[in-house]
Structure 1
Amino acid sequence: MGTRQETVQSHRTAEGLPQDAGVLSLLYRYTDQLYRAKTLDAIYDAALSAICDGLETDRASILRFNDEGVMRFVASRGLSQGYRQAVDGHSPWEAGARNAEIISIEDIAQSGESPEIIAAIRKEDIRALCFIPLAPDNRVIGKFMVYYRDARTLGRDKCELALTIARQLGFALQKHEADHAARHLAALVDGSNDAIISKTLDGIITSWNAGATGLFGYTAREAIGKPILMLIPEDRRTEEDEILAAIRAGKRVSSYETVRRRKDGQLLDLSLTISPVKDNDGRIVGASKIARDISERRRHAEAQALLLAEMNHRVKNAYALTSSLLLLSARTTKDADTLAKMVADRLAALARAHSLTLPSAASGEGDKRPDSLRSVLAATLAPFEGSTDAGAPRLVISGDDAPVPDRLVTSLALLFHELATNATKYGSLSVPGGRVELSVRGSEQETEISWLELGGPATSMPAEKGFGSRLLDLAARELGAIERRWEADGLHVILRMARTADPNPGAVVTDSPVAP
């Protein structure tokens, strides 16, 4: 040959590789070994055997570019550790290079390489060597090398065989990486707590992970092949048409919140993210959906909003009550010192009553919390006591008594504190002659508490519910049924508490308009 280093082009004939029985047998064994290989080491071992047998050498190596674009040994036969270290990183191509061809060096001493490289190769008793690119998609990902002790170059048939071995090795490496990525993705999908579902463009479920089973209650066998509409409430079916239209247009549906239905009929608050699924040709063939349960988050948000509203409500009431208690006390005394003591006593009573509207762990009252109905009412309403301008008591509690479980003390105090606050601001306790009569009547089945405002301004049922009405609704769930009547001169509220462990589940507030 005219040069000591030659780029060997592949001139394929119509016949391709020679129909040599030995070559065909070698390629059959090689292909079978690659097919059965489960690990990279098995793939490399099969390739090295085919390289050494087919290209008639006892020394060969396989190198690949790492993430930094440096060529590194990944497998070899017949090479010393010192040699591998001496030529580590050497490559005639850059990662991703196109149209790479075999490079054959007949005699390294005449190659023009650096003296250091030549010395390292000759020390390994190598005179001729060939670089065969690994480029399964016409982009170099690595190479394999063959080494000879005597000067030689590869003929056309050997080049064809070398390229066939390289193509098969490149495809095997691609398949291994794809299988590894698929297994990794499958493990992530199956182990995810989120529901991950795929569907066709017709809305038919094609995959269903364990997270979907946990969220929706259907097994994969029950779900796959069924319409996705089985998860969507009737009033939200139009969402699916909009989603599929966006997916067909190649758009990703960003995370949005909606409602879906479990197998048992329960409705769930979910956050959904939906992306197109494409085939190997880039065509959109379906959609992948990730669903995350946000029911708990929404409940926390609603509870926080309710707490903030209650805090706002209480702060406003505290100012209004302080002003009302001051005016109420001023009507019944002419002495400044007596007035100051009366106001201080009532504010202290107000603080004690307020502590009853908090859970026992937060109230700081410990075992001092009252445990009977009459004592809870008395402690809650103490700040509002006083006399009318005619000298009559403004608050009268009469009737039976009954034990109150600690879990109900807060709800009971909250209810009557709210009624007394509203009476002080708008009802019978807002005028000098107004008063309130509380009566308690017990039976084996229930305890009835009547709150009756007398002598106050004319009342009317509000047009819309405020925060106070929401508190009544909450109290009804804990305590029992509540009925509100707007009488001619004041509000009349009746609470019916069942004498069971579960007072009255599902109880509601019933409102009646102003009596004629």
Structure 2
Amino acid sequence: MSASESVLVRTDGEDTAALLRLTDRLYRAEALDDVYEAALDAIGDMLGCRRASILLFDTHGEMRFVAWRGLSESYRKAVDGHTPWKPGDRNAVPIFVPDIAETNEADWLKRTIKSEGITALGFIPLMAKGEVVGKFMTYLPDPHGFTQHERDLAVAIARQVGFSLERYRAEQARSAAEQQIRESEDRFRRMSEDAPIMIWIADSTGRCLHLNQMLRSFWGVEDLGSFDWSHTIHPEDRSGIIKAMQAAVTENSSAHVKGRYRRSDGTYRVLETVARPHLNEGGGFDGMIGVNVDVTEREEADLHKQLLINELNHRVKNTLAVVQSVARQTFKGLATGEPKVKAFEGRLSALAQAHNLLAAESWQSASLEEVARKSVNGDADIRVRISGPPVQLAPKQAVTTAMALHELYTNAVKYGSLRSTGGSVDFSWETTDQPDRWLTLRWSEHGIEPVPKPTRRGFGSTMIEKALGAEFNADVRMDYRPEGLQCTVIARQHETPAA
């Protein structure tokens, strides 16, 4: 009885039993080799083939032998990669060749197949998720017309093997993903343990799931199961911290809060916390992850610095008061409205206004716009238009600018465009990235009556040119025009305000 005839004498019961055995073996397969072995046994048993093979697409999309029976190495090398389908094909159907000699295949391929003792072949696609992932082959030595029953059996075997390959690949992907998660968690824990800051993770109820070594040491925690971090918050800070965390959860935003926490030795330390909600794949709240930084020394230093600044502000105000008192005694014999008295008091007031602005910013910097508005009659004179981008001035620059603007404004009111109600002034500035200039200031007067050019240089113009020029390393141009003074200051030196 030939191999092709052996199929014909099988009963439906035998075929059913063989398919059940294949299903059972594929279900219990622990590796791909087990899948291949079960498939080749079923092909040989149910289709009566002594020779068969299984081929799968590799990562480059090439069809490669992965398991075989009864095929020589030279034959496998010669036909390796040959396939009627491409990766991802979804409408693949089996191909059965009764006699290779009767096909239109290339002569070299026909000779290769015949030299291996093969005449009839079956190409049965292996499908996973609806796409071709490979094929299995049946080989018969004599011409053979494949019956519908044989075709159905071949498709049934391919379907079972395809399901098994799909399950195995899904299991591989799941195992790889789990391995990546384990490696990621391991990297996180190793990084977290050695980090120079306190790192924590809490679940959706606020219970700590993870505290790194630095934070465990801070709180003296050994058993996370019985630890409640909220009990370590200073009573005066508890409400604010809890509300900040709850707001972060509600708004799905980061929380940034400072508070006092009790350390394991019983002392309170100021911790700055930055935390954010952690959401699951469905968008549900899973908990919080955050870091704590001990800023106790920094807070104490800031407090001490603020005390020193307050003392400085107090001394400056006292000094200005003393200067004002001395001035009053000095000018005692002069009338209150005497120009020299008014000029001195105005300059002293401008100096005090600049100091007040700096005091409000802890003597770090002052806004150029604020300095300008305080220097032109407290922003009450609507005839002065002020415009320009945000610019922060260092303390010495702010004081010098305030004094210069006071002189410009006073001069405009007494002699320039503001001596009449219809006149006006534009004070503007602009910044650039050019290395030879970073700030340009412009004071432009627009009078309705001709403004006489001064016959002598006074204190104001001298102070403006020398003080601004020195403080900003600037070019100062004073242009006295009939409509009023045009003063341009091109600053080359940018002194960065203290951080």
Class of the TM-score when normalised by the shorter of the 2 chains = 0.3 to 0.5
TM superposition score normalised by structure 2: 0.45
> TM-score w.r.t. structure 1 length?
0.43
